Structure formats: C-alpha cells, structure tokens
Structure 1
C-alpha cells in the first residue's frame, strides 16, 4: 500500500517512448504536394524528436518524396486525395502513401543504357529502406487502391 494515500501501489506499465504514435494527413494529387508532404513529415519527425541520424532522416524524406511523386504521376485520375501516414513505434519509422489506383507497382530495374529518365523511384525507395536495415512493400486497400510503404529502423543508440 502507498503509505500516503492508503491505496494499493501497483507497478506502472512500461510507457511508450515519447516519440511514438501514428499521424495521418492527405494531400492533393498535384505536383506541389510533393514538397508539402516532405516538409510536413520532416517537421513531424523533428518535433517528435524521432531517434534518426541525419542520414536516416534524409532517407525518410527521399522515400516520402518518391512515394508521393508516384501517386501524383500515376494515380491522380483515380485519387481525389493522397493519404500519407507516418508511424513511429519503439523500434522503427514506417512511411506509407495511399492512392486509389489498383496497379501494384514493382521496383523497376535500372536502364542498362542509362538513357531512361524515369522509373527509378521505387528502386530508390527499396535501396534506401533495405540499405538501412528496413523493408518496403505494397498492400491492397479494401477500396481497390494501394498503400506503398517503407520502414526504417530507428537509431536506438541516440
């Protein structure tokens, strides 16, 4: 018992780190939404003191830029709003972008001749996520669209 109040003293459950949570916002399927989403995610991660190195933060912002760019370029006709979700848990950062297009993209192989100027965004996302020890993927939504996501480990030594 707690001698001050006479109430039984129970051990406190382990509290989640202060940086954890899930945040969602939407952007219009237009080009100016790419920097808008990138800045919103950067500001959120800084405000939440997410334990990310400078390189990991840069990688996360590259991922957001590429995923929102793909949604703007390839899904705008079927997507009135692009959804962006940022999830921070005790061990990782997950970035997800949802659109209304049913096509499930696959990372394209780089053009061996080096002549192509597009089609490498998902390769960048995949390389950034896997290179940091994370993962990436595509999931179907219940409404026929998709969520393209990438997860990065947090720098727990910080």
Structure 2
C-alpha cells in the first residue's frame, strides 16, 4: 500500500485517545467517511490493541507505534510494541473469550478482515496487523 502514516505515543493511558483520534483522521484522509459501518469497530479495535500494549508491554516498551497503510481499495493498521510475548490470534478465541485479543480477533473476523502478528526481527517485539474491509476512494 503506497501511503503510510506512523504514530508514536508513550505507553500511557492518553495513548488510547490519541490513537483513536488519529485513526479517524487517517480514515477521512484516505476517503473513508466516519459514517462507514466499519469505522466504529475499527476504532474499538485500535483502542483495545493500544490499551493492551499500555497494560501489558509498557515496562518493556515505553513507546507504542501505530502504523496505518492505505491505497486504492485497501486499508490496514498495526499496533507495535517491544514486549517479547507473541500472541497467537487463532488461539485467542479458544483460550480467553471476551478478553482483549479475543475480542479483537472476533470483531475483525465478523467484519471479514484479517489479524496477523508479525514478530520483530530480533524477537523482542511484535506488530499486530489488522486489515478490515474498508473501501476508501481510489
């Protein structure tokens, strides 16, 4: 996807609000109206992933990075932290229904999107990539 936006925020509670607001701005910039039916779920997913990073990774990752990528007909985003634990999205549903990652996976699947965890090259962090079906303008 040819367009990228990167947001670095400190691993503290205010990061959630900043990430949600930035997500709204990026969606509008790439042509997705805020009334699109998937915007609410996407904002919830962003908030949940950033909240999880703040709660569980702040000691190892004082900064959280949210990356947005978009292009003609496509939109994706990732939340990255430097905590070494690598969650398994497929296993999240069976082990902790209703928990943060399980909720993210469930909502993303209901939207018809994908969840992928990509480990950092050094194994000391990861990015959780979400690709929801959002049809931005070309």
Residue 142, structure 1, aligned to residue 124, structure 2: no
CA distance in 1 between counterparts of 2:111 and 2:34 reads 11
Q: What is the CA distance between 1:123 and its match in structure 2?
A: 1.6
Number of aligned residues: 134
The 3 A distance-change label for structure 1 pair 34 and 124 is: same
Contact 1:85 1:96 in 2 (8 A): yes
Taking structure 1 as the reference length, the TM-score comes to 0.74
The 3 A distance-change label for structure 1 pair 111 and 48 is: closer
Taking structure 2 as the reference length, the TM-score comes to 0.84
Match of 2:23? 41
Match of 2:50? 68
Residue 154, structure 1, aligned to residue 134, structure 2: yes
SS of 1:142 mapped into structure 2 = coil
Q: Which has the larger strand fraction?
A: 2
CA distance in 2 between counterparts of 1:156 and 1:50 reads 5
- Equivalent in 69, 78, 102 of residue 87 of structure 1: 69
Ranked by relative contact order (alpha carbons within 8 Å, sequence separation 6 or more), the top structure is 2
CA distance in 1 between counterparts of 2:81 and 2:25 reads 23
Q: What is the CA distance between 1:53 and its match in structure 2?
A: 5.5
Larger Rg: 1
Which of 46-55 and 21-30 deviates more?
46-55
Summarize the alignment of residues 1-158 of structure 1 with structure 2, pairs less than 5 Å apart. 21-50=3-32, 54-106=36-88, 107-109=92-94, 120-143=99-122, 144-155=124-135
CA distance in 2 between counterparts of 1:27 and 1:136 reads 22
CA distance in 2 between counterparts of 1:50 and 1:109 reads 33
SS of 2:86 mapped into structure 1 = coil
CA distance in 1 between counterparts of 2:11 and 2:136 reads 35
The 3 A distance-change label for structure 1 pair 52 and 135 is: farther
List gaps (5 residues or longer) in structure 1: 1-15, 113-118
SS of 1:54 mapped into structure 2 = coil
List gaps (5 residues or longer) in structure 2: none
Contact 2:32 2:136 in 1 (8 A): no
